Amino acid sequence: MRHWASLSLVVLAASWALPARAASDAPGTSIIIAGDAEPLRQSEAMQLMPAYWESTAQLRSYLDQNKHHRRLFYPLGLADIGAAITAFTTGAGRPTEIAIADLTPFGTPAELRRIHGSTETLRAFQTTLDGNFIDWIQFIRRVGRAGPALLWQLERLGARDIEVRYLTQDGTLRRRPLRRGNHLTVSDDWPATISRSGEGQRSIVEVRYVLDGQPSSVLYVEQDALKRRETPKVLRTFLSEGIDAYLEKAAYGVTNKTAYRNGLLRLSARAMRRDAVLVGHEGYLELDLFTSARRLDSHGGLHYGSDFIYRQPRRSFLRRRR
């Protein structure tokens, strides 16, 4: 079972607050789906628990406040866009280009319309936020698709001009939005297992938005993290352009797998720019990918006591990046 977990070790001297909403940010603004004539309406009262993001924002106390972590990769991140943004916000700015790779389907336009507009499902999603973690299994049972939850969080952050763009494997806009998607099923036994089924195409979605006047985007790729061959060209291209930060958060039972370390993790290591920040598993220090990494501090709440934060300096076996 995998969870999202929050950082709960350090109390910042200045607590983090959600951006203030302007009057024009009120519900009623449309969310555009490229290629779909009917827009989504923004959800009703979005009251995500600020404590969850505040605890995640504790990571910022370990970051260089003068460095802009513009490009971020968040494997196994599900719809946790709020934590990704708040954790890596410094005095120099917020992440503006984020990529998430996760097994959970994003959802077709029809599914977005049905789930995003459901107040009952929105409330069910909120009940999985308790300031410490979001349970992936409960998320699948209660929400089932990453897209609606990602949009809810962007709305809560005050994002404007949200546009959902369904992409092909190489990153071009699909001529028609996705019509059929895959499904995840959770077993009733314990420990629960999760299986993927369906004949639909995997979700590859770009969500564009404006936050505090800054044009931004998140690339969401539906991918089995243990199957490197599933990595589409658009994600490989994103990583080939370099990343400033890498985030894992309670990816329990996955990050210790050889297939993951030889796949997405290795691609990520090659993408890291000089002085990129890695938040990940303690065991990564034993890998040749991270021999230059140094441990900054332990975070008992990040991966249930087994994971740490590293600053990743430039490695000699990687080509230099700007």
Spans in the chain with pLDDT lower than 50: 1-28, 45, 298-306, 313-322
pLDDT number for residue 48? 59
Does residue 156 form part of some domain? yes
pLDDT number for residue 295? 60
Bridge partners for 133 per DSSP: 5
**Crossing angle of the two packed helices 146-157 and 119-127, in degrees rounded to 10:** 80
Does residue 318 form part of some domain? no
Does residue 18 form part of some domain? no
Residue with tokens 């700007």: 322
Give, as one character, the DSSP assignment of residue 39. Answer: P
pLDDT number for residue 279? 80
Does residue 301 form part of some domain? yes
- If one counts the domains in the chain, the total is 1
pLDDT number for residue 178? 75
| Domain housing 299 | 3-12+28-312
pLDDT number for residue 248? 82
Does residue 278 form part of some domain? yes
Does residue 275 form part of some domain? yes
What does the alpha-carbon distance between residue 100 and residue 119 come to, in Å, rounded to a whole number?
25
Does residue 321 form part of some domain? no
Question: pTM to 2 decimals?
Answer: 0.82
Q: What phi and psi, each to the nearest 5 degrees, are found at residue 216?
A: -145, 170
What does the alpha-carbon distance between residue 45 and residue 47 come to, in Å, rounded to a whole number?
6
Give, as one character, the DSSP assignment of residue 29. Answer: B
pLDDT number for residue 192? 64
Tokens coding 70: 């513009």
Does residue 17 form part of some domain? no
pLDDT number for residue 139? 86
